[in-house]
Amino acid sequence: MTSPSKILYASEPDLDVAEFRRVLVESTLGEVRPVDDAARLRTMLANADLVLTARLDIEGKPLIGVARAITDFAWVCYISDLAVSQSARGLGIGKGLMDAARRALGPNVAISLISMPDAVGFYERIGMKRMSDAFWFGRKS
């Protein structure tokens, strides 16, 4: 694809739902997100406190990664989605999005997330600590 130096990271609170859906589908998250429910995806974006994107620095600036988060900007941030198009894997896009989140939040805000099983190694490689005491109430759909 391209080198990581050709990636633009930005905050995009008004990210287009179709672009968000496309990256979810192109990543493994498409299997566990409501990608066929545009209204729900729209609500997910609208209620996120932080939406960060990674785009190729070429004509059309195609979206290749997105991080969506819920935060109070003072104590903790929950990363609810970190999706990178499979075609852009291995270019440091996920780490770049996490670094962008850390910059946006500042050093006094902790970051938490629930990893997909196949991404655990990624989060450990970028220095996140594995926690054993998380809890979960599931959803109906």
pLDDT the model gives residue 69: 98
User: Is the pLDDT at 2 greater than 60, yes or no?
Assistant: no
Quick one: pLDDT band at residue 4, thresholds 50, 70, 90?
low
Residue 76: CB partners within 8 Å, gap ≥ 6?
A: 109, 110, 111, 112
Stated pTM of the model: 0.92
The span from the CA of 15 to the CA of 101, in Å, is: 16
Task: Give the tens place of pLDDT for each residue, 30-75.
Answer: 999 999 999 999 999 999 999 999 999 988 899 999 999 999 999 9
Please name which of 121, 124, 110, 15 lies closest in space to residue 65, comparing C-alpha atoms: 15
Structural domains of the chain sorted by starting position, each given as residue range(s) with its CATH number in brackets: 4-125 (3.40.630.30)
DSSP 132: S
pLDDT the model gives residue 134: 86
pLDDT the model gives residue 64: 97
